[in-house]
Structure 1
């Protein structure tokens, strides 16, 4: 089952959530009952299995009871509004290349192998499958990142990898757009990335429920989905999701350690290897070829079993037109307040 969130083109109406039916190029949407959302389905029970059963019932009702809406008549939105977004870095090949391009490091740090590291990114910056994506202010090295994301179903804490499988509601495509020059400066402070990855992240085109992709697991339990990236029609990267160092179940188990994961939380796989982003290619070749993304470029990401997202890069705000933020001010580090009538 595929579930999408959309708004009608040219209409001033509330957004709707729908089940997606039909072959590629012939998709149509059937609205879910009332105000039901994808997050509602994911949260429908103590685990994701309950959510998938609720999704099956909701999809059946929608196809019986609501009129079809052609996909061409709508703007696809991110399929859900997640409470949180964790983005992992699970592909060794990606880390090797990007470390050289962003920080000048050579190779993968030993700590990477210890656990599936992630950072929290901005759930308010999500854009839809075909939305325009502005270049972040001040960036000259803009990049895409080809990822798959898992959507959490039932809440859980201190999960084992085996138990975590029952807490995955579905999967979608994730493009963690990155300003590599901003990212490189920030990470020299040993914190971040912050503004390097704060401007946009594509989520879509829809959520495919976990049961739909079960047959694509390999013998080791990895989802062996084919991944491809294109810039202006030229293929720049391709990989298999199963080349990740950890499964989504292992990443989810780690995310739940000592805390809770909740329905609708999104977990990105991290960028795949073999051209899953431009920075990996730059790091390997020592030159910016292909060049950084610029206004007018069209980035298309395809994932087997899920679909495709395609976004056009457009000009963003000029840094010179935005309010200035001062550099750090030198301070004399007084330990007492300098206030008239108060001892210093």
Structure 2
């Protein structure tokens, strides 16, 4: 792969960077033996360990310890029209699953309805991850809250390997969401399924000149709360700035060492701090691909390189893949996976 073509002027900065904030030998890094080395000593049951291993054993990244997931819950989260108008084929759930299979993904993540519509045909062909709660935008005026559309037992009955949920940390509703999701994840583990938590920040107060919902310190703390709920995998937006605690004043607690020693302005160091808050990588960090745009391929490569070199476990990219013709979506997913398959791209 011609990384210079995608990374352009950032090529040397991203590929040659050495992380001196939190050294990589302090991390629990992804690898073929991750389940045995990191997950087996936990309180997860043998069935949960088997489910986690199923995720690691599927798709083009099978056997590497890295994950490439296709998430398509945007029909609820952003409205079906806004999400699928660019490519109406994806109004049909079968095409969502086909994209994940042909794109070489480890799993497909979607709603109860999408996966339930084709479960008997595909649940044994690719691991299913059922997203349990959503933010729906049909209520007027719009509110921003995650509410449960599905129950854990429904995911288990359709043969899902994992369940996922979102918590809007920092929102007025977050206390309820934490309690609901804690109960759901407990039940999922009882039934032998893995758990994935979308650890997003949501509060208008976080936007003070910059969008501090993308700051390393605030997203890091959201990750830390997520692994406290025993999320096996953390999904987080990649950090693009820092100093959220400092900018908001009289909010939360932090330490000067977070900014002077444990992070720098380099994007790999910012993401390394996100990994550190996932119990030093004991829960894998997958970064989200973000909205689609004109430079999707370059953005996807950049995000994957930063995640891998920071010690992350992979990428979960949806709109960049499904809001285009299927062949192009497959190409984008494969391009992301190639970063994790490339032995020359090492931990910083």
TM-score range with shorter-chain normalisation?
under 0.3
Larger Rg: 1
Higher helix share: 2
| TM-score normalised over the length of structure 2 | 0.22
**Normalised by the size of structure 1, how large is the TM-score?**
0.23
